[in-house]
């Protein structure tokens, strides 16, 4: 557990080495994300253990959190990354991730992004359309290199998650269904000198809890994989994406560790006999629990309808509540046993979508108190903006109760 209370004071770390979040924030006078690197490592090891006995590579989906300390930490443990822009590839390279551990996904890869990816000799480009495949072939020809590609299948399954983060349903812009395959085969045949098809890839959505739906998508992907193999393509990779969820409404993390284990078992079973390197692209499940966003109460405002705790941080730093209606737990840095008050936790932004939590029952807050928004390590800082010309929050990475990097 990365963040926990001891004597009513919020700590970061674990039973062996921990420190108060207060002391980590120290003299920083703006909102800050605090990350626990050790918690991320635990999850990386859990995922690796779940796939033990298979050829399996974790490509951490860095869109969840691309902080350099986190990238360096995961890379040192052996992870690669899944990227979705030239900017992410550059960040990964700057953090020391070797090119042969980088996968490039994303629906709108520009000419320049593909060119840079091929020049850097990254491991694989996950292709989203025939036009993209043709563009990759043209650039590979002009550079005189062979591009390693995987085709992203849209398996048309319903992953039962928030509609904004569904990606493997037929209405989504992502991937290609079987009707695309003849065109893809044609391009592959014409451009065989510049393209090497390594396998198929899928990712059906985020915040998933139903492993049966993921299995259905894997099986549909394997069916197409096998037809290409039967036609003489020597496929040696299968990328099953990311998507595992965490339960934001509880501090109990046992369920997600259990799910990681079951996910590995399911994937091994579903791909038995396939003889491929199995690639996964987890994002959220590695980093969500490992981060909090800390803001300071500027004002308490009591109206006829509500009691607002107005912070110096809000939707511009953590957009998930406003965008998806997601409910993050609120953890005051100091809690007491006194009377509870029901608050709306809101920010400084000039619109009413600027809330971090509504109707939460907390011990009394006062001006100047620090408050942490829990489980904000995934899609927190990476989706933050400078809306209303506010500064971006600071980021502080902690390991074994000590600050590793602060920027
Ligand atoms: N691979 C691909 C191709 C993806 O598009 C994504 C996430 C992942 C892997 C990692 O998925 P994860 O394991 O993190 O679920 N901003 C939203 C989540 C958007 C996810 C986008 N794609 C949120 O805050 O809930």
Q: Which residues carry out catalysis?
A: 350
pLDDT at 161 over 90: no
287 in Cβ contact with 40 (< 8 Å) = yes
pTM exceeds cut of 0.85? yes
C-alpha of residue 89 to centroid of ligand 1, in Å: 16
Confidence of residue 356 (pLDDT cuts 50, 70, 90): very high
- pLDDT above 90 covers a percentage of the chain that reads 92
Domain with CATH 2.40.37.10 in the chain: 3-30+291-404
What is the mean pLDDT of the segment spanning 45-55? 97
pLDDT in tens, 170-185: 888 999 999 999 999 9
Confidence of residue 149 (pLDDT cuts 50, 70, 90): very high
CA distances from 395 to 13, 79, 174, 213, 304 (A): 16, 22, 32, 36, 37
Q: What is the mean pLDDT of the chain?
A: 96
**Mutational pocket test of ligand 1: of 60, 82, 242, 325, the residue with most ligand atoms within 8 Å of the beta carbon:** 242
pLDDT at 158 over 90: no
**Mutational pocket test of ligand 1: of 65, 206, 289, 320, the residue with most ligand atoms within 8 Å of the beta carbon:** 206
For position 40, what pLDDT does the model report?
Answer: 98
Rg of the chain taking only CA atoms, in angstroms: 22
For position 15, what pLDDT does the model report?
Answer: 81
pLDDT in tens, 242-277: 999 999 999 999 999 999 999 999 999 999 999 999
- What single string gives the DSSP state of each residue in 251-283? S--HHHHHHHHHHHHHHHHHTTT---EEEE---
Confidence of residue 336 (pLDDT cuts 50, 70, 90): confident
Ligand 1 pocket, residues with Cβ under 6 angstroms: 61, 63-64, 82, 105, 165, 167, 203, 206-207, 241-244, 281-285, 320, 324, 379
From the centroid of its chain, how far is CA 145?
Answer: 31
148 in Cβ contact with 198 (< 8 Å) = yes
Q: Which atom of ligand 1 is nearest to the CA of 126?
A: 3
**Mutational pocket test of ligand 1: of 166, 259, 281, the residue with most ligand atoms within 8 Å of the beta carbon:** 281
C-alpha of residue 171 to centroid of ligand 1, in Å: 17
pLDDT at 238 over 90: yes
CATH architecture of 37-287: Alpha-Beta Barrel (3.20)
pLDDT in tens, 32-48: 999 999 999 999 999 99
pLDDT at 407 over 80: no
pLDDT at 1 over 80: no
C-alpha of residue 156 to centroid of ligand 1, in Å: 17
For position 177, what pLDDT does the model report?
Answer: 93
pLDDT at 406 over 80: no
> Which positions ≥6 away from 23 have C-beta within 8 Å?
none
What is the mean pLDDT of the segment spanning 179-203? 97
For position 378, what pLDDT does the model report?
Answer: 98
pLDDT at 317 over 80: yes
C-alpha of residue 283 to centroid of ligand 1, in Å: 6
Domain with CATH 3.20.20.10 in the chain: 37-287
For position 203, what pLDDT does the model report?
Answer: 96
Q: Which CATH superfamily is domain 3-30+291-404 in?
A: Lyase, Ornithine Decarboxylase; Chain A, domain 1 (2.40.37.10)
pLDDT at 164 over 90: no
Looking at per-residue confidence, does 263 or 166 come out higher? 263
For position 320, what pLDDT does the model report?
Answer: 98
For position 2, what pLDDT does the model report?
Answer: 94
| Helices and strands (H and E) in the chain: how many | 11, 20
Q: Which atom of ligand 1 is nearest to the CA of 206?
A: 15
371 in Cβ contact with 335 (< 8 Å) = no
For position 16, what pLDDT does the model report?
Answer: 86
pLDDT in tens, 114-144: 999 999 999 999 999 999 999 999 999 999 9
């Amino acid at each position: 557990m990365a963040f926990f209370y001891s004597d009513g004071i919020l700590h970061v770390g674990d039973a062996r080495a921990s420190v108060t979040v207060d002391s980590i924030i120290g003299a920083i006078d703006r909102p800050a994300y605090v990350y626990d690197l050790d918690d991320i490592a635990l999850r990386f090891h859990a995922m690796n253990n779940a796939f033990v006995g298979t050829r399996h590579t974790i490509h951490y989906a860095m869109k969840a959190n691309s902080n350099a300390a986190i990238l360096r930490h995961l890379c040192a443990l052996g992870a690669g990354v899944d990227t979705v822009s030239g900017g992410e590839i550059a960040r990964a390279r700057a953090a020391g991730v070797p090119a042969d551990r980088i996968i490039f996904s994303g629906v709108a890869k520009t000419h320049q992004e593909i060119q840079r990816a091929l020049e850097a000799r990254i491991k694989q480009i996950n292709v989203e359309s025939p036009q993209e495949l043709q563009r990759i072939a043209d650039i590979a020809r002009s550079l005189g290199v062979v591009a390693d590609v995987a085709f992203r299948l849209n398996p048309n399954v319903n992953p039962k998650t928030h509609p904004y983060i569904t990606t493997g349903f037929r209405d989504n812009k992502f991937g290609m269904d079987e009707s695309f395959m003849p065109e893809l085969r044609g391009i592959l045949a014409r451009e065989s000198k510049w393209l090497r098809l390594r396998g198929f890839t899928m990712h059906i959505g985020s915040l998933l809890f139903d492993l049966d739906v993921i299995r259905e998508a894997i099986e549909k992907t394997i069916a197409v994989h096998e037809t290409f193999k039967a036609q003489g393509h020597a496929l040696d990779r299968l990328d099953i994406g990311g998507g595992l969820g965490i339960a934001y409404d509880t501090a109990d993390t046992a369920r997600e560790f259990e799910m990681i284990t079951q996910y590995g078992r399911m994937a091994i079973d579903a791909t038995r006999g396939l003889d491929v390197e199995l690639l996964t692209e987890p994002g959220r499940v590695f980093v969500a629990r490992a981060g909090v966003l800390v803001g300071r109460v500027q004002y308490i405002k009591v109206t006829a309808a509500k009691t607002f705790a107005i912070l110096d941080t809000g939707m511009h730093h953590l957009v998930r509540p406003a965008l998806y209606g997601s409910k993050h737990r609120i953890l005051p840095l100091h809690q007491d046993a006194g009377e509870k008050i029901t608050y709306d936790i809101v920010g400084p932004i000039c619109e009413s979508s600027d809330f971090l939590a509504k109707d939460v029952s907390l011990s009394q807050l006062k001006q100047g108190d620090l408050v942490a928004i829990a489980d904000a390590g995934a899609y927190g800082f990476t989706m933050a903006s400078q809306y209303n010309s506010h500064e971006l929050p600071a980021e502080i990475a902690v390991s074994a109760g000590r600050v590793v990097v602060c920027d």
